Chains A and B, each alone.
Chain A
Amino acid sequence: MLRVLDHLEEWLIAALMAAATVIIFVAVVHRYASSVAIPGVQDWLIKVNMSWAQELCIYMFVWMAKFGAAYGVRTGIHVGVDVLINRMKGRTRAGFVLFGLMAGALFTGIVGTLGATFVWEMAHTEQVSADLEMPMWIVYLAVPCGSYLMCFRFLQVAWQFFGTGELPHHDHGHVEGIEDMKSDDVIPVAVVPDLHPAEVLPKGSQEDGK
């Protein structure tokens, strides 16, 4: 059950990212293609209205941001100031980490509730978006859903930390495809005799010449 939720979350945000990129790409291509005079095609292109692309892209990214933030809690991507707590040990550190996670759960819980009330009120109005004419409450549904999911993720991570003492950690310096790369294949190193032999310091001497 939980795994289904995990996959759904991952699938949703990746799909939104791809879809938004494609939509903007198509909109730009359409804008320029419809100004090229090809008989028949041009009339058809001009008839296709792409003005909604920008708005749809924004809403897609709002949804992606809310659910992606929840996914980010699970993978530990949210950056914090860890200078102080990294100097702490054992129970004190655990206490602070748990406090942080619970504060996250509290904040997202409050926001989720505020959002739910807001969406509930909006659902009783006739507000629609400017270009797509989509009911606004559906657009804003991302806030309560995403926030409650995020709240759940904070509690989940806190529970995990309480049990195992482990936190999810995101590696900001990860790069694909360098594990299998030998530096010899990239640049064959050949040392040429230096042109100023007098300035070559003896081996093992200080690099710092100042």
Chain B
Amino acid sequence: MNATIIFILLITLMLTGMPISISLGLTVLSFLFFMTQVPIESVAMKLFTGIEKFEIMAIPFFILAGNFLTHGGVARRMIRFATSMVGHWHGGLGLAGVMACALFAAVSGSSPATVVAIGSILLPAMVKAGFPTRFGAGVITTSGALGILIPPSIVMVMYSVATNTSVGALFMAGVIPGIALASLLGATTWYRAWKNGYPRQPKAAWRERWTTFREAIWGLLLIVVVMGGIYSGIFTPTEAAAMSAVYAFFVAVFVYKDMTLAKVPKVLLDSASMSAMLLYIITNAVLFSFLITHENIPQAIAEFMVGGGLGVIGFLLMVNVLLLLAGNVMEPSSIVLIMAPILFPVAVKLGIDPVHFGILIVVNMEVGMCHPPVGLNLYVASGITKMGITELTVAVWPWLLTMLGFLMIVTYWPALSLWLPRTLGMIQ
């Protein structure tokens, strides 16, 4: 009963369009005030302690690192490198788009920014080479979402904050699914290009590949700094994030020289306000998860699931449907922060591995970003391609279908995500 009231209240407040953080906070305050005897002052304590964890501080650092490298110059280098590597295959520029998106998204950490950066440069070239606009738009919109699966990923940090799962293990677990999904999107691109006879680029000489690789490598080393640092135990995840921010600053200003020192305060301000927004959601989500734990909602759901005979397969299917629906209206970080505390205890009770569950949620978020009617990537892509949402929906469906298929694989084949962290001894 109380659970119903809480969720109706939350959903109603959210639908009025107020910030998600505010609707979470107001739900908690009004429920505690009107329905329980819990003193409101005890909430105040939560507001202070909500974000006082060093692990959470990885988020601002990763955002800062990403913002230093979210630049047209970096996108250009990634596209050149990708084109020289795969451009001579069927649908060369499309394949290069998938690869460039994966690389840029991993480094910049933002899906919409990836769609804009890679899309604005690559799409005109694809149209000129004779690709239909739809094809290019489909490739870029879906591949742009790859970033949240390939580490470093802010959504994974969010999941680890909400469930106390190891960030390092999650990052490692994302590597193979990330590469697999990129390959599958590439395969879809290749197949459609081969079938429709889309043009290829001339094969690049090894010398050219080497030159473009040397240009792109500085940005890509960011991933190595983070992953290598965490795995070898040199840094904690938060320290790795801070180091990657310093590294990204160094590369952007002194190596690539895309950015002048005068632009740095602007990047700092933008990153600070983006991080503050996310940290504000975290604070209120902590408050919200305090409320649902206080009302024993996760336990009630778990008992209902286990008692109702809904096994692991049924539960995971339900989680996927629920998250895909949520992905239609909210952005990934908020979904993870709201849903993870509710679903995680149930998953644990059913014996699902926390890391596998995290990867499943992340892949789900990725699909949600390109899912009609309101995926964020669709909107951004519609802005740069001047196509309507309906037309884009038709354009993305082959890739979207691939992603949904992949989601099923990730859901029911835990070894895909767990093999690497297990082999490296990061989880049992």
Contact = CB atoms under 8 A, between A and B. Distances in A.
B274 A186 contact: no
Contacts of B135: 207
A72 B276 contact: yes
A107 B387 CA distance: 39
A175 B20 CA distance: 25
B258 to A, nearest CB: 6
Given A84-B17, A85-B17, A103-B18, 19 more contacts: A13-B269, A14-B268, A20-B60, A21-B61, A24-B61, A57-B54, A65-B275, A69-B279, A80-B20, A96-B17, A103-B16, A103-B26, A111-B47, A115-B44, A117-B41, A176-B71, A181-B121, A187-B96, A199-B197
A28 B199 contact: no
Contacts of A200: 197
Interface stretch (B126-134, B155-163, B403-411): B126-134
A54 interface: yes
Contacts of B246: 21-22, 25
Contact count band on A: 35 or more
> A-B pairs with the 8 shortest C-beta distances?
A68-B276, A100-B18, A177-B72, A178-B72, A78-B19, A24-B242, A65-B279, A200-B197
B109 interface: no
Interface of B: 13-23, 25-26, 29, 40-41, 43-45, 47-48, 51-54, 57, 60-61, 64, 70-73, 75-76, 79-80, 83, 87, 93, 96, 110, 112-113, 115-117, 120-125, 128-130, 132, 134-135, 192, 194-197, 199-202, 234-235, 238-239, 242-243, 245-246, 258-259, 263, 265, 268-269, 271-277, 279-280, 283, 328-331, 334, 374, 376, 380, 383, 394
A47 to B, nearest CB: 22
A197 B71 CA distance: 39
Contacts of A24: 61, 238-239, 242-243
18 contacts: A58-B57, A61-B279, A71-B272, A77-B274, A78-B20, A78-B277, A84-B17, A85-B15, A96-B17, A117-B41, A173-B383, A175-B72, A175-B113, A178-B75, A178-B120, A181-B121, A189-B125, A194-B197
A100 B16 contact: yes
A68 B406 CA distance: 38
B272 A68 contact: yes
Contacts of A183: 121-125, 128
Given A10-B269, A65-B283, A175 B275 contact: no
A174 B41 contact: no
A172 interface: yes
Contacts of B83: 187
